[in-house]
Amino acid sequence: MWLTPLHRAVASRSEEAVRVLIRHSADVNARDKNWQTPLHVSAANKALRCAEVIIPLLSSVNVSDRGGRTALHHAALNGHTEMVSLLLAKGANINAFDKKDCRALHWAAYMGHLDVVCLLVSQGAEISCKDKRGYTPLHAAASNGQIAVVKRLLSLAVEIDEANAFGNTALHVACFNGQDAVVSELINYGANVSQPNNKGFTPLHFAAASTHGALCLEFLVNSGADVNVQVLCVSDTGGEIDCVDKDGNTPLHVAARYGHELLINTLITSGADCTRRGVHGMFPLHLAALNAHATCCRKCLEFLLQNGAAPSLKDKQGYSAVHYAAAYGHRHCLKLVRTQICPASALGSPLHLAAYHGHAQALEVLLEGHCEVDQGDEVGRTPLMLAALRGHTDCALTLLNHGASPRSKDTIRGRTPIHLAVMNGHTSCVRLLLEDSDNADLVDTADSQGQTPLMLAVMGGHVDAVSLLLEREASVDLADHQGLTALHLGLLCGQEECVQSLVELEASVLLGDSRGRTAIHLAAARGHASWLSELLNIACSEPPIPPLQDNQGYTPLHWACYYGHEGCVEVLLEQRDFRHFDGNPFTPLHCAVVNDQETCANLLLEAMGSKIVTCKDSKGRTPLHAAAFAGHIDCVQLLLAHSASVDDVDQSGLSALIMAAEKGRVEVLDIKTHIANSIFENGMEECALLILGKLPDSALVATNAALQTPLHLAARSGMKQTVQELLSRGASVQVLDENGSTQGPRSPRDPSGPSSEGTTTENDSDSETF
């Protein structure tokens, strides 16, 4: 505490000890860890004589502690009238405030020290001062039930309806804290019983919400004395019983929310309307059911029935009290309302809510009322489906025991409860649903997309669920409507443990999907080198190796090269059968260089030799054409280093140089369905210069189908260095193209780069496609 001997001496009110310590140079300004000086301690402990000794040695009596409180604050808080008088006489600031802007008068009023309050007021204290929350001394006294101080302040004509920062008057504060005597006094002095605060709450709302108010009211009712002081004293003096806040809640809503049944009785007896809508269009009965206040439910329900109101009232969302009780698992409330409010097969029924939120006991109560156990929601999901989706095994068991069908399907994707359970890995629910031997065939039930529970479990990586389904003899080679098996999906989603389980059960590695892609293709496309090796070993275990080409003629090597999976390329090249180009003439080398996979291209060249740089696709384009077209300089350099011919032209008569020049400002390369747009890629000029350095001068006059020379194309594309290089080597500026121009037209032309055989398209939205 960092207390000095002087602090200890004044705390024990030992004047003699204080004098001795001061004679020995004790520091009268010393502070403890709360920054309190010996004067603070004197004031708090009524050490009047000690204070008289210390004060003459101080430069100021207004020093504040860590909380901003002066010695006067401490004296007022503790009700030491003589100390307060002494401090004021010695120059204490009567209106000094602490860090919460509380004055000494606030503290005296809150603690009920009437003599101190009177002294401070007589010495000029501001009676309507406010702290940071806008509390006046009247608020402070009212909140703590200090009736004597309240009366004194009222006699001084303070503003009785002064609001604090939240809009609350002293009456609000007294009601909320159950200070019935203060409430009565304030009303007798004319306090406004209907004044709303910033949120629209009147004092009546606060009385309804107050736990202390309810207890006071119960005590008074049982004692037979001054009944309903807290609430009736408000209503009897003109308080609007059905006044609403900004959300439309009446005091009855508030009382129902907090479960104050005695207050509810008082409000209903006083004429409160149980059919008024509050927040979200909810009725008091909804709030009682929502918060598990069974007695409140009974009170509201009895009142509704006695007054002929429809017991099945619903809020704006279409929910009744049964819905709320079911959603929150309030079994006792359900027992009260279910006989009066029979839930129909509506959207989001109470059964659905109870099942979704895992309230098995609530389900039992609802099912006793003979509800339709397999009713569907707006998308056809039954309560059993929702229980399975959320993994609530106890709810699923309850529903099954009451006849729920595990064969029901939703209307969106045709999925059963088993599908929904495996999607989230709820193995215990899956086991429960498959326990009945009559349901064994459900293990292979397909949804509207052809997907089985095994496929969904594999995609989600739910190993335990996969193991359970395989134990129940789920078929591993069934395919969905896209031809994808569980093994395909496991590789696409990278679920290694699930893939291992499928491979151990001899799932076929050679089945193709609707595009002809096998598991080996997908392993190569996704970069799963270890799985690719294992799958190849399985495929090669019984020679001859089948031709591994998809519907477009692409092999696993094409896929691995295009996506740059070096490990997969190495695995494939270890197999001699893959060391030659089969299938699509747009070779793996084309795939590598067009997508800037230099390392993969280098692996191909090292394994298969430089001769492969001369291979051509179906349009006569070499890998150099592809690299130049895409503007990948490193790949161009690699191919040139392996003696790629710069003179080769494709079926359109374009050389790699012309293609690079055109690409400098080509109107779009549209592959299958891309919308044309104009692009310019960095690096085109570098490619052109690189290739130009390999060309003989005789090639500089070569023309394309539009009679355009490299100079035409370079000039059109704004390639300054290329133009200069061509001119320095004798390219003619007088050559005319088919339009009679020496610089070449700027009209769009058909792209002549690599076709859809080697690049991705918008239609081919899967990332594993070319």
| Sign of the torsion angle spanned by Cα atoms 601, 604, 609, 615 | negative
pLDDT at 750: 32
In which band, very low, low, confident or very high, does the pLDDT at 99 lie, cut at 50, 70 and 90?
very high
Query: Would you say residue 370 has pLDDT above 60?
Result: yes
Q: Give tens-digit pLDDT for 733-753.
A: 767 666 666 554 333 333 222
Q: What mean pLDDT do residues 351-362 have?
A: 85
Confidence band (pLDDT; 50, 70, 90) for 25?
A: confident
Q: Which tokens sit at 130? A: 């406010």
Classified as helix, coil or strand, 567 is helix
- Transcribe 351-412 into DSSP letters: HHHHHHHT-HHHHHHHHHTT--TT---TTS--HHHHHHHHT-HHHHHHHHHTT--TT---SS
Contacting residues for 163 by C-beta, under 8 A, at least 6 apart: 134, 169, 195, 197
Task: Read off the pLDDT of residues 180-220 as tens digits, 9 standing for 90 and up.
Answer: 888 888 888 888 877 888 877 777 777 766 655 554 333 32
Q: Which whole number is the average pLDDT over 666-682? A: 27
How many CA atoms lie within 13 Å of 183's alpha carbon, on the beta-carbon side? 28
| 306/284 Cα distance (integer angstroms) | 16
Percent of the chain with pLDDT over 70: 71
Instruction: Please list the residue range(s) of the chain that carry CATH number 1.25.40.20.
Output: 585-672
Helices (H), 169-237: 170-176, 180-188, 203-209, 211-223, 229-235
The residues, any chain, with a CB within 8 Å of residue 282's CB and separated by 6 or more, are: 253, 290, 315
Per-residue pLDDT of 619-657, as tens digits, reads 999 999 999 888 888 898 899 899 888 888 899 888 887
**pLDDT(590) > 50:** yes
Q: Is pLDDT larger for residue 345 or for residue 654? A: 654
CB atoms within 10 A of CB 407: 15
Question: Residue 221: what residue type?
Answer: V
The confidence band for 672, taking pLDDT boundaries of 50, 70 and 90, is very low
Question: What is the homologous superfamily of the domain 585-672 according to CATH?
Answer: Ankyrin repeat-containing domain (1.25.40.20)
Interatomic CA distance for residues 342 and 344, integer angstroms: 6
| In the chain, % of residues over pLDDT 90 | 44
Rounded distance, CA 563 to CA 586, Å? 15
Phi and psi, residue 6, nearest 5°: -65, -40
Can you name the residues that pair with 479 across neighbouring β-strands? 485
Q: Tell me the average pLDDT across 93-116.
A: 95
CA separation for the pair 723, 737 (Å, rounded): 17
CB-based contact 241:270 (threshold 8 Å): yes
pLDDT of 241 higher than 50: no
